[in-house]
C-alpha cells in the first residue's frame, strides 16, 4: 500500500489542511492507472464517507458524478502522458451529498507499479 503518502507530516499530503481558500478541506486518495483505489487518508474517509475497506474495493468512477465520468477518462489519459494534471469534478459522498472538488493528480512509481496520488480539495 502507499501509506508513505498518507502519514502525517509536513510533506506527507495528509488531509484536514486548509486548501488555498478558507474553509476548504483536503484529502488524498491513491489509485492505479485504471482508477482502482489502493488507499485513502482519514480526511477522504471523513469527507466522502466510505471506510478504508470500502475505498479499497472501489474505483474513482464510483464517487465521481456520472456526468463527469467521460471527462475523467480523458483526464486519466492525459495524466498517463504528462504525469501530472489539475482539474475539477463533481463528486458524491456516500450520503449522496454532492461536492465540487479541485483535484491535483500526479503519477509516481511504487515498487515498479505506476500509482496516482490524487489530492482533492472541496
Q: What pLDDT, in 10s, does the model give residues 12-56?
A: 343 444 445 567 899 999 999 999 999 999 999 999 999 999 999
Q: Which domains does the chain have, with CATH numbers?
A: 3-121 (3.30.450.20)
Which pairs with CB-CB distance under 8 Å and at least 24 residues apart come from 101-106?
102/19, 105/75, 105/79, 106/79
Band of residue 7 on the pLDDT scale cut at 50, 70, 90: very low
Q: What pLDDT does residue 54 have?
A: 97
Give the cell for residue 101. Answer: 472538488
Give the cell for residue 8. Answer: 502525517
% helix / strand / coil in the chain, to the nearest 5?
Answer: 30, 35, 35
Amino acid at each position: 500500500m502507499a501509506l508513505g503518502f498518507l502519514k502525517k507530516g509536513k510533506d506527507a499530503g495528509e488531509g484536514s489542511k486548509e486548501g488555498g481558500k478558507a474553509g476548504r478541506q483536503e484529502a488524498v486518495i491513491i489509485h492505479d492507472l485504471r482508477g482502482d483505489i489502493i488507499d485513502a487518508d482519514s480526511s477522504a474517509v471523513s469527507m466522502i464517507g466510505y471506510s478504508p475497506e470500502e475505498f479499497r474495493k472501489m474505483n474513482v468512477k464510483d464517487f465521481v458524478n456520472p456526468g463527469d465520468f467521460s471527462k475523467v477518462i480523458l483526464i486519466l489519459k492525459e495524466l498517463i502522458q504528462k504525469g501530472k494534471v489539475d482539474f475539477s469534478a463533481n463528486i458524491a459522498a456516500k450520503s449522496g451529498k454532492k461536492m465540487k472538488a479541485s483535484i491535483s493528480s500526479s503519477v509516481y512509481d511504487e515498487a515498479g507499479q505506476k500509482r496516482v496520488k490524487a489530492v482533492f480539495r472541496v
